[in-house]
Structure 1
Amino acid sequence: MWIGWLEFDLLLGDVHSLKQKRSVVRPIVAELRRKFNVSAAETNSADLHRRSGVGVAAVSGDRGHLVDVLDAAERLVAARPEVELLSVRRGLSRSDD
């Protein structure tokens, strides 16, 4: 079994409150979950209104499939016009490591 994760560091556009931040981040998290059947959540910077961290995790029996899913999730977030993707951290491991 392969386990993979991504951690996105996002700079949000014209956001001036935590309420506006939620209205930008929630749809991204929901789309990641829906399109790729992954676990996704806001993971850090909860008290900052222009920054957000979003984490994604997935499990697969095939490493190639897992890499494809993570690559597609990264492209989806990078293509969102309302956020700037500052950095992405990625991890892959095998369950018997």
Structure 2
Amino acid sequence: MWIGWLEFDLLLGDVRSLKQKRSVIRPIIAELHRRFAVSAAETGAHELHRRAGIGIAVVAGDHSHVVDVLDAAERLVAARPEVDLLSTRRGLSRSED
């Protein structure tokens, strides 16, 4: 079994409140869930208006499938016009049965 994760550090556009921040972040998380069947959540910078962290995780039996899903999810987030992707951290590991 392969386990992969990504953590995105995002700079949000013209956001002036935490309520506006959530209205930008929630659709991104929902789209990641829907398109890639990954676990996704807001994971950082909860108190900052213009910064956000989103983490995703995927589990699969095939290494290449995990890498493909992580790559596609990163492209999706990078292409969103309402956010700037500042950095991405990635992890990939194999379970030891």
Q: Which amino acid aligns with 1:81?
A: P
For normalisation by structure 1, the TM-score amounts to 0.99
User: CA offsets, 1:11-54, max 9 Å, x none?
Assistant: 00000000000000000000000000000000010000000000
For normalisation by structure 2, the TM-score amounts to 0.99
Partner residue, 1:2: 2
Partner residue, 1:14: 14
Give the fraction of aligned pairs with identical amino acids, expressed as a percent. 78
Q: CA deviation at 1:88?
A: 0.1
The root-mean-square deviation of aligned C-alpha atoms, in Å, is: 0.9
Runs of 4+ in 1 over 6 A off after TM superposition: none
Partner residue, 1:43: 43
Instruction: Quote the Cα distance in structure 1 between the aligned partners of 2:78 and 2:21.
Output: 17
After superposition, residues 55-70 of structure 1 pair within 5 angstroms as 55-70=55-70
Report whether the alignment pairs 1:71 with 2:60: no
User: CA offsets, 1:49-96, max 9 Å, x none?
Assistant: 000000000000000011000000000000000000000000000011
Find the residue that maps to 1:20 and give its secondary structure: helix
